[in-house]
């Protein structure tokens, strides 16, 4: 019949790939634009490369193992004495506090926005609020923290050792405000992950008679763990990299100075420094003039942040790509980083 | 009924009838016999019908798959050529190769010759070629600009760049194109409206006006009416027939009745091969090939 | 022995748990709103003394900021003025300058980079460029500041600022490479990643029917990008600009390190020297002037500056919402 294809398909004559449109035929103005685009792309790579190169060269040359285990010590020969053990511990403490508060809060908020959303005006308001928090400069958040914790009610969270006045500066305070930095990131990542879950997951659970709370707890959240994890890691990266909150809320003492007698609580209520404020203080902008130590600490800081970024890429990796419907280039921006609400 | 237009183009053509069993000759009909088919169609002798493009033994493939096999066709000014066939017959790919749109897809390969006014199209600079051979797509795709800007787009941005031409300089040509596309009366009052505010049929006519603005020599239409309602379809078919005089029109269509209404010559393709080529009457009323007969009568499609 | 039948809670108890969960989560949501309100109110209240002492001239210019801050630090008011006397115009001018210049440069560069990324870059280059942009986005601002003050500022000082130039302004201010140019340069690099990502996403989302239609009309790739794709991506690019502005406005540490030691209002009438004059944007001022004292004159001035920044952030947040509305219309899901 007419439908049958011819039996033997002869292979055709050799093909020529047709010449593609080249820029040779473009007018000069267009060609200039084309070359500018190339220059920009290459230039960006060069900039990033040189940043890494400078940090590597200067950082590794100043890096000594002893730096990791010694506390900062004042000395005439600034470049030789002391290390950044305390700042590293400080970074860990602040990040831990910040994430411990931000992760549950972010996940809870995103879950409420995704699954409950009643009343509608409240949902819109909360979305705007989260976006606003993401948009407020970290200095202003720091000032807010200062005002909140220095005056009165929350004074017990921090205290100056010398005359008992409340300074509003301590690890606890800094950690709490750092949480505000991380919440939009965690909430954004969780919200996106929840939005990408197919409706049948929820429908299947409801069809079995499960309540919404149970569905969330046992079905939805476990299945978006990679998304939550990526949000948490993003939040950690943001917290670790922030300096403004530390300089204002952590007292900028070289060593971690505990307040009070209790072992752990004392440290938490006391002042100290983190890697970021250590770098700042050792640079010409701070008091110290030990650029070598600043470079060394900055190098460590950069490696930590890059490792976290790589971890996020891994988490939002091949498995996630199948369900991610955003244009591929948008994955440059991790979920929630641009704090777009739906 | 005895009055048959020569099937074969003048002997300059490379369609070798003896070699290719699929095209049945009716070359006994003398040249210059008038075509008296549809009412209102002017009869034309071969001297009035000028060949614009020649497709000679063209093979097209995407990667490993042969999509078009050894097709040879003429495209003449003064007439409408319809490419019909089932899905996957390669007619759209053939159409797109005429203005080198197939190059945009990676992995496309071609063999054979396609010439525009005697010149191989690969030797013509591609933007110039596409100005001379314009295309209208299946889905109307007006740009997010005003009606005027849409039609003036090719004039402003095409190879004969007139970017800084003021509106008054272009207005005449824009209105002319709109008239040829049959849209002028409906939009003349406000050419600065957004093109996206028009109805589907109007948008498609806008696309046709846009394609006509730069005075192309050949107009390619890829199923232009398949997304439109019957009234818009009728309007567009009428203006296609009217365009015959000035441009050569090649139209790909799924709709056999549409092909009957507008086409002068019809080429039936199946699975990439050219099964039969002939005048409209010949294909629809007295098809020679069995496959053509089956397709035209609706046995498959 | 058959396994025991699973014990499901009764329906009523389950519904109660569900409702409790909903209420708790709703309370948390309300709590977030209250937090924002608290932040606005607290900052405003504590900023009030500075604003009320200076009135609208707070935003004006007058006198030397260095002496004004000194007065506040030492608690000795200036001649004929009260303790809270403060004229913030040089700071505001510095903020405006650095932000506007940085955003404008970033707009141009990011558009070119986004076009490159979506249209011209071969796949291998794209696979390098995407991590590069992620890297630039992830570098902490203190590291940008460190490189700025230890590498870029000295280079500019040695190679771009000649001695005659320094002498020409020496009676007013000292040029040492930490200046508007360095600050703008680094700020541009810091806000580039956001804008590139958003612009590239928007360009990639332009319907291919437009691109094909434009090509079929004989328009070359570059003009197609310029006239059609960029036009379609305009709302997204605008949203990117708003986001980048918010980022530039809020950058404190990097600017505190590289923008110069003195709160000086760079004078465009100085010609090219204008680029090499130090500036001190608002956010950087907070870092530099805050000394730990939470209730003195300095503190209230700092709170006032924070209030201005907070208000700007709120404005930009609203602007971002407004700019995103057309995006929803075109369905380009951002």
pLDDT at A260: 62
Among the partner-chain residues C21, C243, C313, the one whose CB lies closest to the CB of A213 is C21
A12/B59 Cβ within 8 A: yes
pTM of the model: 0.83
pLDDT at A37: 94
Binned average pLDDT, 10 residues per bin, chain B of 301 residues? 40 38 37 35 46 85 84 88 89 90 80 87 87 92 91 83 74 88 86 88 92 91 89 87 88 90 90 89 87 83 66
Q: From C219, which residue of chain B is nearest by alpha-carbon distance?
A: B158
C117/A280 Cβ within 8 A: no
Chain B residues in contact with A12 (beta carbon < 8 A):
59, 61, 66, 69-70, 111
pLDDT at C294: 74
Phi-psi region of B223 (alpha: psi -120 to 50; beta: other; left: phi over 0): left
pLDDT at A2 over 60: no
Tokens of B289: 């090939």
> Residue B76: in which H helix or E strand, if any?
strand B65-77
B100/A15 Cβ within 8 A: no
Q: From B106, which residue of chain A is nearest by alpha-carbon distance?
A: A17
> If 0-12 CB within 10 Å is exposed, 13-18 middle and 19+ buried, where does residue B161 land?
middle
**Does A163 reach chain B within 8 Å, measured CB to CB?**
no
pLDDT at A167: 66
Distance from CA of B122 to the nearest CA of A (A): 8
> What's the mean pLDDT in A315-325?
58
pLDDT band for A30, please (50, 70, 90 cuts): confident
Among the partner-chain residues B109, B294, B299, the one whose CB lies closest to the CB of A17 is B109
Distance from CA of B145 to the nearest CA of C (A): 9
* Long-range contacts (CB closer than 8 Å, 24 or more residues apart) made by A158-163: A158/A259, A158/A269, A159/A259, A159/A260, A159/A269, A160/A259, A161/A257, A161/A259, A161/A270
Chain B residues in contact with A1 (beta carbon < 8 A):
294
Q: What are phi and psi of B62, to 5 degrees?
A: -110, 110
SS3 content of chain B, % helix, strand, coil (to 5): 35, 25, 45
Other chains touching A, judged by 3 or more CB pairs under 8 Å: B, C
pLDDT digits (tens), chain C, 334 positions: 455 555 555 677 777 878 888 888 888 999 999 999 999 999 999 899 888 888 888 888 887 888 888 888 888 887 777 888 888 888 898 899 999 999 999 999 999 999 999 988 998 999 999 889 989 998 999 999 999 988 898 888 888 877 777 777 777 777 777 888 899 999 999 999 999 999 998 898 898 899 999 989 988 889 899 989 998 899 889 999 999 999 999 999 999 888 777 777 777 776 777 788 888 899 998 988 887 777 788 888 999 999 999 999 999 989 988 888 776 655 444 3
pLDDT band for A80, please (50, 70, 90 cuts): low
Among residues A102, A252, A237, A94, the alpha carbon closest in space to that of A175 is found at A94
Q: Are A178 and A187 in contact (CB under 8 A)?
A: no
Which positions ≥6 away from A10 have C-beta within 8 Å?
Answer: none
> What's the mean pLDDT in A263-269?
71
> Residue B266: in which H helix or E strand, if any?
strand B265-270
Q: From C153, which residue of chain A is nearest by alpha-carbon distance?
A: A284
Tokens of C317: 């947040």
> Residue B52: in which H helix or E strand, if any?
strand B50-62
B101/C215 Cβ within 8 A: yes
Q: From A17, which residue of chain B is nearest by alpha-carbon distance?
A: B109
**Does B233 reach chain C within 8 Å, measured CB to CB?**
no
Chain A residues in contact with B270 (beta carbon < 8 A):
2
> Who has greater pLDDT, C112 or A77?
C112
Q: Are C243 and A131 in contact (CB under 8 A)?
A: no
pLDDT at A1 over 70: no
pLDDT at C213: 92
pLDDT at C331: 47
Which positions ≥6 away from A289 have C-beta within 8 Å?
Answer: A78, A282
Other chains touching B, judged by 3 or more CB pairs under 8 Å: A, C
**Does A325 reach chain B within 8 Å, measured CB to CB?**
no
pLDDT at B32: 39
CA A310 to chain CA centroid, nearest Å: 12
Distance from CA of A329 to the nearest CA of B (A): 20
Q: Which of B139, B145, B153 to mutate to test the interface with C (most CBs of C within 10 A)?
A: B153
In this predicted model, what pLDDT tens digit does every residue of A177-219 receive, in sequence order?
A: 999 999 999 999 999 889 888 888 888 888 888 788 888 888 8
pLDDT at B13: 34
pLDDT at C26: 87
Other chains touching C, judged by 3 or more CB pairs under 8 Å: A, B
Q: Which of B20, B104, B111 to mutate to test the interface with A (most CBs of A within 10 A)?
A: B111
List the beta bridge partners of residue B278.
Answer: B266
Chain B residues in contact with A21 (beta carbon < 8 A):
103, 126-127
SS3 state at A81? coil
pLDDT at A26 over 90: no
Among the partner-chain residues A45, A109, A280, the one whose CB lies closest to the CB of C29 is A109
pLDDT at A165: 56
Altogether, the residues listed in chain A come to a count of 342
pLDDT at A328 over 60: no
> What's the mean pLDDT in A215-242?
89
Q: Where are the beta strands (DSSP E) in B80-130?
A: 80-84, 108-116, 119-120
In this predicted model, what pLDDT tens digit does every residue of A165-176 receive, in sequence order?
A: 566 678 888 899
pLDDT at A244 over 50: yes
pLDDT band for A21, please (50, 70, 90 cuts): low
SS3 content of chain A, % helix, strand, coil (to 5): 65, 0, 30
pLDDT band for A254, please (50, 70, 90 cuts): low
pLDDT at B29: 35
Q: From B132, which residue of chain C is nearest by alpha-carbon distance?
A: C218
Rounded alpha-carbon distances, angstroms, from residue A227 to A187, A191, A334, C133, C175: 10, 9, 10, 21, 49
Q: What is the DSSP letter of B146?
A: B
Tokens of B298: 């609706």
SS3 state at A289? coil
Distance from CA of A295 to the nearest CA of B (A): 48
pLDDT, chain A, mean = 79
**Does C218 reach chain B within 8 Å, measured CB to CB?**
yes
Among the partner-chain residues B128, B141, B144, the one whose CB lies closest to the CB of C218 is B128
Rounded alpha-carbon distances, angstroms, from residue A1 to A165, B267, B287: 98, 20, 16
Rounded alpha-carbon distances, angstroms, from residue A159 to A96, A148, A278, C85, C298: 21, 14, 22, 30, 20
């Amino acid at each position: 019949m007419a439908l049958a294809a011819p039996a033997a398909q002869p292979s055709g004559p050799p093909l020529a790939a047709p010449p593609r449109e080249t820029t040779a035929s473009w007018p000069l103005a267009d060609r200039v634009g084309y070359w500018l685009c190339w220059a920009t792309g290459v230039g960006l790579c060069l900039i990033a490369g040189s940043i890494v190169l400078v940090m590597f060269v200067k950082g590794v040359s100043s890096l000594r193992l002893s730096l990791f285990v010694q506390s900062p010590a004042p000395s005439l020969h600034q470049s030789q004495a002391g290390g950044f053990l305390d700042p590293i511990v400080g970074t860990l403490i602040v990040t831990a506090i910040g994430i411990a508060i931000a992760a549950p809060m972010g996940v809870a908020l995103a879950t409420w926005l995704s699954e409950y959303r009643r009343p509608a005006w409240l949902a819109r308001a909360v979305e705007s609020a989260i976006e606003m928090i993401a948009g407020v400069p970290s200095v202003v958040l720091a000032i807010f923290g200062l005002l909140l914790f220095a005056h009165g009610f929350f004074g017990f969270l921090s205290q100056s050792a010398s005359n008992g006045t409340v300074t509003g500066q301590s690890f606890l305070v800094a950690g709490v405000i750092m949480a505000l930095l991380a919440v939009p990131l965690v909430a954004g990542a969780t919200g996106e992950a929840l939005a990408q879950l197919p409706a049948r997951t929820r429908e299947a659970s409801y069809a079995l008679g499960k309540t919404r709370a149970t569905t969330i707890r046992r079905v939805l959240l476990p299945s978006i763990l990679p998304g939550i994890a990526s949000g948490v890691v993003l939040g950690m990266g943001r917290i670790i990299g922030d300096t403004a909150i530390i300089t204002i809320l952590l007292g900028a003492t070289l060593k971690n100075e505990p307040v009070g007698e209790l072992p752990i609580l004392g440290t938490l209520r006391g002042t100290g420094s983190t890697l970021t404020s250590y770098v700042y203080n050792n640079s010409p902008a701070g008091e110290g003039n030990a650029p070598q130590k600043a470079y060394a600490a900055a190098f460590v800081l950069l490696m930590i942040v890059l490792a976290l970024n790589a971890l996020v890429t891994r988490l939002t990796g091949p498995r996630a790509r199948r369900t991610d419907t955003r244009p591929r280039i948008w994955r440059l921006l991790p979920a929630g980083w641009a704090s777009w609400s739906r | 009924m005895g009055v048959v237009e020569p099937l074969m183009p003048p002997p300059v053509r490379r369609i070798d009838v003896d070699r290719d069993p699929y095209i049945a000759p009716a070359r006994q009909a003398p040249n210059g016999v008038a075509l008296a088919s549809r009412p209102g169609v002017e009869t034309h002798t071969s001297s009035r019908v000028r060949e614009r493009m020649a497709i000679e033994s063209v093979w097209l493939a995407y990667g490993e798959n042969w999509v078009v096999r050894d097709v040879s066709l003429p495209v003449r000014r003064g007439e409408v050529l319809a490419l019909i066939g089932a899905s996957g017959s390669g007619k759209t790919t053939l159409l797109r190769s005429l203005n080198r749109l197939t190059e945009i897809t990676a992995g496309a390969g071609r063999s054979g010759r396609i010439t525009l006014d005697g010149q191989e199209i690969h030797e013509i600079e591609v933007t110039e070629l596409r100005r001379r051979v314009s295309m209208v797509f299946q889905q109307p795709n007006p740009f997010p600009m005003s009606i005027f800007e849409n039609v003036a787009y090719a004039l402003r941005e095409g190879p004969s760049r007139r970017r800084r031409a003021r509106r008054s300089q272009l207005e005449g040509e824009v209105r002319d194109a709109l008239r040829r596309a049959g849209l002028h009366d409906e939009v003349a009052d406000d050419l600065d409206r957004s093109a996206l505010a028009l109805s589907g049929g109007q948008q498609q006519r806008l696309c046709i006006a846009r394609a006509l603005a730069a005075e192309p020599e050949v107009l390619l239409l890829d199923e232009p009416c398949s997304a439109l309602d019957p009234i818009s379809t009728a309007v567009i078919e009428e203006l296609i027939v009217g365009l015959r005089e000035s441009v050569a029109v090649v139209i790909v269509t799924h709709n056999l009745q549409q092909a009957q209404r507008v086409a002068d010559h019809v080429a039936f393709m199946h699975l990439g091969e050219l099964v039969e080529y002939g005048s409209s009457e010949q294909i629809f009323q007295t098809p020679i090939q069995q496959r053509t007969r089956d397709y035209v009568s609706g046995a498959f499609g | 022995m058959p396994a025991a039948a699973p014990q499901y809670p009764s329906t009523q108890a389950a519904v109660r748990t569900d409702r409790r969960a909903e209420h708790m989560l709703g309370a948390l949501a309300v709590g977030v709103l209250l937090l924002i309100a608290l932040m606005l109110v607290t900052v405003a209240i504590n900023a009030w003394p500075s604003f009320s002492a200076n009135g609208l001239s707070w935003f004006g210019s007058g006198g030397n900021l260095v002496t004004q801050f000194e007065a506040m630090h030492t608690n000795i008011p200036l001649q004929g003025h009260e303790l809270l006397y403060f004229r913030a115009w040089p700071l505001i001018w510095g903020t405006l300058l650095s932000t506007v210049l940085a955003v404008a440069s970033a707009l141009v560069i990011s558009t070119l980079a986004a076009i490159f990324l979506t249209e011209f870059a071969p796949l291998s280059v794209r696979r390098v460029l995407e991590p590069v942009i992620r890297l630039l986005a992830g570098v902490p601002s203190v590291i940008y500041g460190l490189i700025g003050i230890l590498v870029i500022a000295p280079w500019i000082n040695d190679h771009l600022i000649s001695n005659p130039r320094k002498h020409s302004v020496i009676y007013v201010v000292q040029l040492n490479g930490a200046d508007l140019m360095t600050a703008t340069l680094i700020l541009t690099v810091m806000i580039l990643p956001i804008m590139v990502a958003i612009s590239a996403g928007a360009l990639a989302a332009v319907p291919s029917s437009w691109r094909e239609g434009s090509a079929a009309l004989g328009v070359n790739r570059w003009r197609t990008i310029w006239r059609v794709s960029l036009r379609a991506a305009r709302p997204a690019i605008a949203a990117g600009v708003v986001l980048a502005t918010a980022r530039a406005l809020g950058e404190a540490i990097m600017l505190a390190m590289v923008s110069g030691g003195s709160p000086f209002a760079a004078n465009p009438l100085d010609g090219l020297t204008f680029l090499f004059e130090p500036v001190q944007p608002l956010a950087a001022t907070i870092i530099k002037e805050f000394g730990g004292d939470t209730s003195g004159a300095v503190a209230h001035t700092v709170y006032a500056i924070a209030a201005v920044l907070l208000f700007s952030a709120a404005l930009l947040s609203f602007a971002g919402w407004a700019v995103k509305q057309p995006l929803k219309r075109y369905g380009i899901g951002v």
